[in-house]
Structure 1
Amino acid sequence: MIIYLVGMGCVGKTTIGRLLAEKLGFTFFDLDNEVEKYYQKPIERIQNEFLTLYGFREKASVVLDQLFSRNIDCVVAGTPAGLKFAYNSVYKRHKKDKELYSIHLFDTCENVLNRLTFYDIDSNPIDEPMTPEKRKRYLREIKADYNYFKSSYERADLRVSIEGVPLHDIPDKIVAELEQLQQ
């Protein structure tokens, strides 16, 4: 079985994906990390090779295709565009002949704002002090991103709200909801 986590940036796909994979005894992959390994350079530097993000997504979808082709039980933490553009084409192609489930992790935009993480061009974490003005601007951007990708999230096989759920309880919630879906 392959579980493909999608959702907006900083919703917790990587953290929750690791915990879920550990609970199930599956292998865990973070798509961004796998793209960086495959192309041997940081995400932002790869993105800078293209005029638009569409070209980058085409290139990154090659790595997603390879992950889905491994035929191993795994959890893959995708990107905010996880069920849009080239990523969706890869997902649909593999969904036809695999036990593959997409799960949209959802939380409030305000909670996502509190988890924002910033990186430099080489994918190193950086500290970004948050003034009230920056919080307002980032919250607007988070809401805009969610609205942009909303139609792709609606394609997910399962939508799991993590709002107010303690982190250590989220994998159990996902497993329970996935079991209901499979019945």
Structure 2
Amino acid sequence: MIIYLVGMACVGKTTIGRMLAERLGYTFIDLDEEVMKHYQKSIERLQSEHLTMYGFREKAGVVLDHLLSKNIDCVIAGTPAGLKFAYNKVFKRHKKDKELYSLYLYDTCENVLGRLTFYDVDSNPIEEPMSPAKRLRYLRDVKADFNYFKSSYDRADVQVSIENIPLSDIPEKICNILVEQHVLPAGV
């Protein structure tokens, strides 16, 4: 079975995905990491090679297609556009053939703002001091991103709110919801 996590940037797909994979005994895969490994370039450098994000997403969709072709139980941390554009085409094609479930993780925009991380052009983490004016600007950006991708999040098989839930409790909550939805067997 493959569980494909989608949601806003910095909602926690990678952190929670790792924890969920460990809880289930599955392999964890980060789509961004696999895209960078496949093309031997950082995400920002790959994006800069295309006139539009659509071209980049088509290229990244090739990697998602390869990952979904594997016959391993895994949790894949996707992108904010995880069920939109080229990613959705790939996902729908593979969903016909295998146990593949999309799971939308969501939280408030204010909570996501508190988890924002910043990277240089080579995908190295950098510090970004946050003045009140910057916080307000980034909050507007987070809300705009959410509104842009919301229709694709509605396509997810399962939706899980992580608002105000301790990080350590989230994998168990997800497993309980997946059992309730008959995605996972009882007792997992």
Q: TM-score, normalised by structure 2?
A: 0.96
Deviation string, structure 1 residues 85-140 (Cα, Å, up to 9, x no partner): 00000000010111111000000000000000000000000000000000000000
1:70 equivalent in alignment to 2:76: no
For 1:181 and 1:60, locate their aligned partners in 2 and report how far apart those are by CA, in whole Å: 30
Q: Which amino acid aligns with 1:61?
A: G
Aligned position for 2:9: 9
For 2:153 and 2:38, locate their aligned partners in 1 and report how far apart those are by CA, in whole Å: 26
For 1:122 and 1:176, locate their aligned partners in 2 and report how far apart those are by CA, in whole Å: 38
Q: Which amino acid aligns with 1:72?
A: I
Q: Give, in angstroms, the shift of residue 71 of structure 1.
A: 1.0
For 2:66 and 2:169, locate their aligned partners in 1 and report how far apart those are by CA, in whole Å: 30
1:87 equivalent in alignment to 2:121: no
1:27 equivalent in alignment to 2:31: no
Unaligned ranges ≥5, structure 2: 184-188
Deviation string, structure 1 residues 16-49 (Cα, Å, up to 9, x no partner): 0000000001000000000000000101000000
1:167 equivalent in alignment to 2:167: yes
Q: Which amino acid aligns with 2:115?
A: R
Q: Which amino acid aligns with 2:163?
A: E
Deviation string, structure 1 residues 46-73 (Cα, Å, up to 9, x no partner): 0000000000000000000111101100
Structural mapping, 1:141-160, within 5 Å? 141-160=141-160
Unaligned ranges ≥5, structure 1: none
Aligned position for 1:181: 181
Tell me the secondary structure at the aligned position of residue 144 of structure 2: helix
Cα RMSD after superposing both structures: 0.6
For 1:68 and 1:170, locate their aligned partners in 2 and report how far apart those are by CA, in whole Å: 24
Q: TM-score, normalised by structure 1?
A: 0.99
Tell me the secondary structure at the aligned position of residue 182 of structure 1: coil
For 1:103 and 1:41, locate their aligned partners in 2 and report how far apart those are by CA, in whole Å: 28
Q: Give, in angstroms, the shift of residue 181 of structure 1.
A: 1.1
